[in-house]
Amino acid sequence: YKMNNCYCGKESNYEKCCKPYILGEKLPKTAEDAMRSRYTAYIVGGVDYIYDTHNPKTRGNLSKEEIKHWSESTKWNKLEIIETVNGEDKDSEGIVEFKGYYTEKGKTSFHHERAVFKKTGDKWMYDSALSTQKTIKKDVKIGRNDPCPCGSEKKYKKCCGKN
């Protein structure tokens, strides 16, 4: 993530990119933008936004406290969008396959999911994950000379792997 880019990875700053969605000033036009803004909300502590953009029918017992804990205990490093199927402004459903790289308790891992988004009126809602690709891989081995997963384009040993 470069300093002038949004946390979601787009080359525009947070103020113009995801912040208006998280504050409820604008609605994302696409499923991918909804996904990107939900990822960013985890970084900036937008608990209400994450909760409110999760379909109540599929949310189950997920609480704002759980979202807050996950947001605060995890350092999100980078979002990688792998594939988007439909999910355009004219669609009512879309799939966004992504990998979210994070560090938790000193271990770097990633969350890989094919997320289903459904549109209610003009609002894209996270609905569910397609189980075929829902994988959480623990302890990704990063070599000291590998690029840092935070996206800084520095070597891991000179960036997040310093200590």
Please say whether the beta carbons of 122 and 33 come within 8 A. no
Angstrom CA distances, 36 to 7, 42, 94, 157, stand at 8, 10, 14, 28
Q: How many residues does the chain have?
A: 163
CATH code: domain 19-158 is 3.10.450.50
77 three-class SS? strand
Beta bridge partner(s), residue 147: 155
Report pLDDT digits (tens) over 34-57.
999 999 999 999 999 999 999 999
Report pLDDT digits (tens) over 90-124.
999 999 999 999 998 889 999 889 999 999 999 99
Whole-model pTM over 0.75: yes
Ordered by start, the domain boundaries in the chain are 19-158
